[in-house]
């Protein structure tokens, strides 16, 4: 049995591990980058630091965390905070690469390039999310429940729309999101974007 509960301080290591184990287009990303820690420092830990009230986890009966959803209610504001408040403290560990010679270089260039207003979906769908479930938690309706829980929390804050972006290589995710209420949006090469109205 599993349950969904709010994030609490101390969950960060489990969330970082889940992020890594699902980082490679839904598959285990261990060893894909030179430094495995980079995934979580971009895609999950800043969210629970900035918006812990919008973070929810899937917990098993033996209190293992096997999935999560995190996000931000205002993408432009979050991205600006990421640029000025979160990422600068990592500059010494992960300097900005001059060229993109590896997958890690590409991820770092993405991190250094984040800023408020860069996201094209932010006006119509101001909130965004990241959701990840370990294989043992997939196919049981938990992703749908996490999204419903997250959407309800956004509505309670008066947020009118939600978007997400999935890798074009993640066929499972691309098939999943329309089934839970998302509509495909115009997308860049290599990704598929989806939006959901919350009104």
Model confidence pLDDT, tens digit, residues 134-178: 999 998 999 999 999 999 999 999 999 999 999 888 888 899 999
Could you tell me the pLDDT band of residue 36, with boundaries at 50, 70 and 90?
Answer: very high
What are the CA-CA distances from residue 60 to residues 24, 43, 138 (Å)?
Answer: 24, 23, 13
Q: Is the pLDDT of residue 74 over 90?
A: yes
pLDDT at 6: 98
Q: 196 has which bridge partners?
A: 162
Q: Is the pLDDT of residue 187 over 90?
A: no
Q: Is the pLDDT of residue 121 over 90?
A: no
pLDDT at 120: 82
Say what the pTM is: 0.95
Q: 19 has which bridge partners?
A: none
Average pLDDT over residues 89-108: 95
CATH of the domain at 32: 3.40.630.30
CB within 8 A of 151, min separation 6: which ones? 162, 196, 198
DSSP structure string for 8-73: -TT-HHHHHHHHHHTTBTTB--TTTSS-TTHHHHHHTHHHHHH-GGG-EEEEETT--EEEEEEEES
Cβ atoms of 12 and 45 within 8 Å: the answer is yes
Q: Which domain holds residue 178?
A: 2-197
Q: Specify the number of domains making up the chain.
A: 1
Full strand arrangement of the beta sheet holding 56-60: 2-6, 56-60, 65-72, 127-133, 161-167, 191-197, 183-185
Q: Is the pLDDT of residue 118 over 90?
A: no
């Amino acid at each position: 049995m599993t349950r969904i509960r709010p994030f609490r301080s101390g969950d960060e290591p489990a969330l970082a591990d889940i992020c890594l184990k699902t980082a490679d287009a839904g598959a285990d990303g261990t060893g894909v980058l030179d430094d495995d820690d980079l995934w979580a420092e971009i895609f999950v830990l800043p969210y629970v630091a900035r918006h812990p009230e919008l973070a929810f986890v899937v917990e098993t009966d033996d209190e293992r965390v096997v999935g999560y959803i995190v996000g931000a209610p205002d993408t432009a504001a979050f991205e600006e905070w990421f640029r000025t408040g979160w990422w600068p403290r990592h500059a010494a560990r992960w300097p900005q690469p001059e060229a993109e010679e590896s997958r890690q270089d590409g991820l770092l260039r993405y991190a250094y390039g984040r800023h408020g207003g860069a996201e094209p979906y932010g006006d119509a769908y101001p909130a965004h999310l990241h959701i990840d479930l370990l294989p043992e938690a997939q196919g049981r309706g938990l992703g749908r429940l996490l999204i419903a829980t997250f959407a309800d929390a956004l509505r309670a804050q008066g947020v009118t729309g939600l978007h997400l972006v999935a890798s074009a290589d993640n066929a499972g995710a691309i098939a999943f999101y329309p089934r839970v209420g998302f509509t495909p949006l115009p997308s860049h090469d290599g990704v598929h974007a989806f939006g959901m109205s919350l009104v």
